[in-house]
Structure 1
Amino acid sequence: MYLTPRDEEIIDIILNDQRVSIQAVAYAAYVQLTPNNKKPVSHREFHQIFKDNWQAFYSLEIEDSERND
């Protein structure tokens, strides 16, 4: 299957929108679950934690995939 540069650009936009949507939902859930006596981390801090976890889980998926091949 051949993707044009425009196709690749559209795919990148969709993937980015999905990732941002997942972060927004995760942050909303996190804020709702944070006890009233504890201040939630900022959006920026949460974003960094999210990126770190995203990479960790991505690496685990790659390892599993390689083990199953």
Structure 2
Amino acid sequence: MYEENIELIRSLIENQREPYALLSFIGDTIDAMRTDVEGIRVTKEFYEAVSRIADSLVVIDQEISVDSE
């Protein structure tokens, strides 16, 4: 369903595009997923994947914090 978005995100990462553009597209993709997940059941695998996203957000936050000092 979101294969094209995910491939584009991977391409943006591979080509080291601007962080703002990359995070914006990731955010747009997550917003679309959030709409589709409304009212459906998810598995433990979903929560494990979201946990990996949270771990990645910690690293991104550290990168942003170091650069803004």
Smaller-chain TM-score bracket: 0.3 to 0.5
TM-score by length of 2: 0.41
TM-score (norm 1): 0.41
Structure ID, larger Rg: 1
